[in-house]
């Protein structure tokens, strides 16, 4: 891909892209506020409340690959504008949902919003890799991913203050109205911006078939790995407010617990910066094993204790989650010279784990208790440890090279 971009234009475009990553990080993490809020508002079970996450992450399953094809057909800039418009439509849907006081409407609004975010993510990453030399693409991805983590860190604080402190359906209207307007302004700005035209992630003809990819054992293990990782991370975040509200843990109010969710996602932001030099110096698969073990210890500890120990143990899991997604992603495509676009589509589709695992944890929570339900994330992390251990001999350079194109969130 040969794209010449001036330094000034690249800088302005990178700031714009960073804002997009911030937005979908913010909106994704707002679900952690919506789950306990709507659970109390509509007197829902855990299983019913977690349908918020199910509706959100189901969009990745249905639209990741179609979004990739759409980007190839219309161009990434047009796809960004359309994605922002769809996301704004979903945000406006929250206003109608609050007005009609209908949980089903909220689910529909979440699904539409997530559809737009899926398209934005598929379209945004090629722009990041295009804004400069390919050799520095990894640093640019790290920058925009930091803004994604910043969004997930700020969202619980704002959501707790504006939504959980009120406890009514109307409290949802103000933050989502603001986001809808902001998204529309960004869509208009995107139409006027001069961004590098990128028609494909690769200039070479790629005749790789889906059958070829399904025969790639490493890739298929990685698809399950992404499913397990996103599922575990989202499940813990989704039930965190309810968990910290348990009398046997801290007995926090929903608003107070919501502020602590920021530590969970903030840990992921800090961990990305701490983990980057480790991944550069040591085998990514071995570093991944250590972080996975840390996550398992954190979940086991919070399950078996109470008070401050249980509190900080579960929050520490966010720190250990930090490097998992990009590392699993890069290890999964290591050694591939063709078919990376299709492989990326498969791996992004596996983000649907954020819909499935929390749903099953909700079912277990309703039947056996919230404490017992944390067994589900442990099972996910156990598979991830198996995945990382199986690839522990993977060369560092190859994984790092693959990650330049395929880091996603």
Q: What is the mean pLDDT of residues 251-270?
A: 92
Q: 323 vs 366, which has greater pLDDT? A: 366
Q: What is the DSSP string of 131-154?
A: SS-GGGHHHHHHHHHHHHHHHHHH
Q: Tell me what pLDDT residue 132 has.
A: 64
Q: What percent of the chain is predicted at pLDDT more than 90?
A: 56
Q: Tell me what pLDDT residue 402 has.
A: 39
Q: Tell me what pLDDT residue 176 has.
A: 95
- Please enumerate in sequence order all residues whose Cβ is within 8 A of that of 180, keeping only pairs 6 or more positions apart, or say none: 88, 89, 91, 92, 95
- Among the listed ranges 70-79, 287-296, 371-380, which one has the minimum average pLDDT value? 70-79
Q: Tell me what pLDDT residue 398 has.
A: 41
Collapsed DSSP state (helix, strand, coil) of residue 249: coil
Q: 297 vs 345, which has greater pLDDT? A: 297
Q: Tell me what pLDDT residue 396 has.
A: 41
User: How many helical (H) and strand (E) elements, i.e. helices and strands, does the chain have?
Assistant: 18, 0
Q: Tell me what pLDDT residue 404 has.
A: 37
Q: Tell me what pLDDT residue 257 has.
A: 94
Confidence check: pLDDT of 50 > 60 = yes
Q: Tell me what pLDDT residue 405 has.
A: 40
By C-alpha distance, which of 220, 238, 221 is closest to 354?
A: 238
Q: Mean pLDDT of all residues in the chain?
A: 85
pLDDT 10s digits, 98-149: 999 999 999 999 999 999 999 998 887 666 656 666 555 545 666 677 788 8
Crossing angle of the two packed helices 353-368 and 375-390, in degrees rounded to 10: 140
CA dihedral 144, 65, 202, 397 (to 10 degrees): 60
Q: Tell me what pLDDT residue 107 has.
A: 97
Q: Tell me what pLDDT residue 204 has.
A: 53
pLDDT 10s digits, 119-133: 998 887 666 656 666
- Please enumerate in sequence order all residues whose Cβ is within 8 A of that of 157, keeping only pairs 6 or more positions apart, or say none: 258, 259, 262
pLDDT 10s digits, 6-44: 555 666 777 888 888 899 899 999 999 999 999 999 999
Q: Tell me what pLDDT residue 407 has.
A: 38
pLDDT 10s digits, 213-257: 888 889 999 999 999 999 999 999 999 999 999 999 999 999 999
Rounded CA separation 406/370 (Å)? 35
- Among the listed ranges 155-169, 264-278, 356-370, 394-408, which one has the minimum average pLDDT value? 394-408
Q: Do 381 and 292 form a contact (C-beta atoms < 8 A)?
A: yes
Q: Tell me what pLDDT residue 202 has.
A: 46
Q: Tell me what pLDDT residue 210 has.
A: 80
- Among the listed ranges 68-82, 187-201, 216-230, which one has the minimum average pLDDT value? 187-201
Q: What percent of the chain is predicted at pLDDT more than 70?
A: 85
Rounded CA separation 317/329 (Å)? 19
Q: Tell me what pLDDT residue 399 has.
A: 38
Confidence check: pLDDT of 84 > 80 = yes
Q: Tell me what pLDDT residue 376 has.
A: 97
Q: 315 vs 407, which has greater pLDDT? A: 315
In the chain the domains, ranked by start, together with CATH numbers, are 7-198+208-406 (1.20.1250.20)
């Amino acid at each position: 891909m040969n794209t010449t971009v001036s330094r000034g234009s690249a800088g302005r475009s990178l700031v714009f892209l960073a804002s997009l990553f911030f937005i979908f990080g913010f909106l994704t993490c707002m679900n952690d506020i919506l789950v306990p809020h709507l659970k109390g508002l509509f007197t829902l079970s855990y299983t019913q409340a977690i349908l918020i996450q199910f509706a959100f992450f189901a969009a990745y399953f249905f639209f990741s690959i179609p979004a990739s094809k759409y980007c190839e057909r219309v161009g990434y800039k047009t796809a960004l504008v359309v994605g922002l418009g769809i996301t704004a439509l979903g945000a406006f849907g929250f206003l109608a949902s609050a007005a009609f006081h209908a949980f089903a409407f909220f689910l529909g609004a979440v699904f539409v919003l997530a559809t737009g975010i899926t398209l934005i993510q598929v379209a945004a990453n090629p722009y990041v890799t295009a804004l400069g030399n390919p050799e520095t693409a990894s640093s640019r991805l790290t920058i925009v991913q930091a803004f994604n983590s910043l969004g997930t860190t700020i969202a619980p604080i704002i959501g707790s203050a504006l939504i959980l402190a009120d406890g009514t359906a109307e409290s949802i209207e103000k933050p989502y109205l603001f986001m809808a307007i902001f998204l529309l302004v960004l869509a208009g700005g995107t139409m006027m911006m001069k961004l590098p035209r990128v028609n494909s992630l690769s200039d070479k003809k790629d005749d790789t078939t889906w059958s070829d990819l399904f025969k790639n054992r490493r890739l298929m293990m990685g698809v399950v790995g992404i499913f397990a990782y996103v599922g575990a991370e989202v499940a813990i975040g989704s039930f965190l407010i309810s968990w910290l509200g348990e009398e046997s843990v801290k007995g926090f109010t929903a608003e107070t617990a919501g502020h602590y969710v920021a530590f969970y996602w903030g840990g992921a932001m800090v961990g990305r910066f701490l983990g980057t030099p480790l991944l550069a110096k040591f085998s990514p698969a071995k570093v991944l094993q250590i972080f996975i073990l840390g996550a398992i210890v954190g979940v086991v500890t919070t399950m078996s204790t109470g008070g401050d120990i249980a509190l900080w143990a579960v929050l520490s899991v966010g720190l250990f989650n930090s490097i998992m997604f990009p590392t699993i992603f890069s290890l999964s495509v290591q050694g591939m010279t063709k078919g990376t676009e299709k492989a990326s589509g498969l791996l992004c589709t596996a983000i649907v784990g954020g819909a499935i695992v929390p749903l099953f944890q909700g079912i277990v929570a309703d039947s056996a208790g919230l404490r017992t339900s944390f067994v589900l994330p442990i099972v996910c992390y156990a598979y991830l440890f198996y995945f990382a251990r199986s690839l522990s001999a993977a060369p560092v350079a190859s994984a790092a090279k693959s990650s330049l194109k395929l880091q996603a969130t």
